[in-house]
Structure 1
Amino acid sequence: MRFMVMVKATADSEAGVMPSEELLTQMGQYNEELVKAGVMLAGEGLHPSSRGARVRFSGAKRSVVDGPFAETKELVAGFWLIQVRSLDEAIEWVKRCPNPMPGDSEIEIRQVFEAEDFGAEFTPELREQEERLRAQVEARQ
């Protein structure tokens, strides 16, 4: 099972405050544990929302909203993509993480959909397309 582990933004992360050397060292050690255990698939920090944008959809119409975005507690400051056997295992890994922000912080864990989760609507043709695209992405890395 794959899980997206999202570090929620804080006022400091949205203000562009960079992590300390101590926190970067701790995160590096934690990431090393994840890699050695074969759990980590990807992980990155994100720039503040002031450097981003949102694309809103309304039927066929598209509109762009530039950051920053007001609801800091709803924003993501970083993420990991991990592969483990269960939500419980994902929780145990996240509990081992250094506190990603000074003071209070929160990390959200969400399971990633797999092809089989979509049922009959995910036809053999769509499955073949998905596999072909994944192979192309992997070949580029």
Structure 2
Amino acid sequence: MRFMIIVKATPESEQGCMPSAALMAEMARYHEELARAGVLLDGSGLKPTSQGWRVRYSASGRSVTDGPFTETKELLAGYTLIQVRTREEALEWTRRFPNPRGEGLAAEIEVRQLFEMEDFASVEGVEQFNELQAQRG
């Protein structure tokens, strides 16, 4: 089972402020623990939305809007991707996730389970994705 730990953006992250040395060390220790346990798949911070864009789809086509985007509660600042045996194991790891803003400050992370290819077994066209996955090894 794969889970994504989603770090919500803050006004500071959207301004491009870097984490403190203490927070970086705490995050590094946490990710090292995940790696030693064999559950870490990936993890990274995201640059502010001022360096990104959105693509909107409509009946008439697509439009591109450059960032920044103002509603920080809907934005992401980073993620950690883990693979564990159970939901309970994922919950235990996420309870230990360091406060992304630093201890004592209000912050929020969100955890979402990823779909696995077997979840799409009955969907027409899934074979192409299975072939791609097999090619990647």
Q: What stretches of structure 2 of length at least 5 have no aligned partner?
A: none
CA distance in 1, matches of 2:124, 2:111: 25
Contact 1:7 1:76 in 2 (8 A): yes
Q: Secondary structure at the match of 1:117?
A: helix
Paired position in structure 1 for 2:117: 115
1:80-111 CA distances to partner (integer Å, 9 max, x unpaired)?
Answer: 11111222221210111111114111110001
CA distance in 1, matches of 2:69, 2:131: 36
Q: Secondary structure at the match of 1:33?
A: helix
1:32-74 CA distances to partner (integer Å, 9 max, x unpaired)?
Answer: 0000101110000000111110111113611001111111011
Paired position in structure 2 for 1:106: 108
CA distance in 2, matches of 1:131, 1:94: 30
Paired position in structure 2 for 1:131: 130
Whichever residue aligns with residue 3 of structure 1, its letter is F
Q: After TM superposition, give the deviation of residue 119 of structure 1 in Å.
A: 3.8
TM-score, reference length from structure 2: 0.90
Q: After TM superposition, give the deviation of residue 131 of structure 1 in Å.
A: 3.2
Paired position in structure 2 for 1:33: 33
Paired position in structure 2 for 1:94: 94
Whichever residue aligns with residue 24 of structure 1, its letter is M
Q: What stretches of structure 1 of length at least 5 have no aligned partner?
A: none
User: What count of residue pairs does the alignment treat as equivalent?
Assistant: 135
TM-score, reference length from structure 1: 0.88
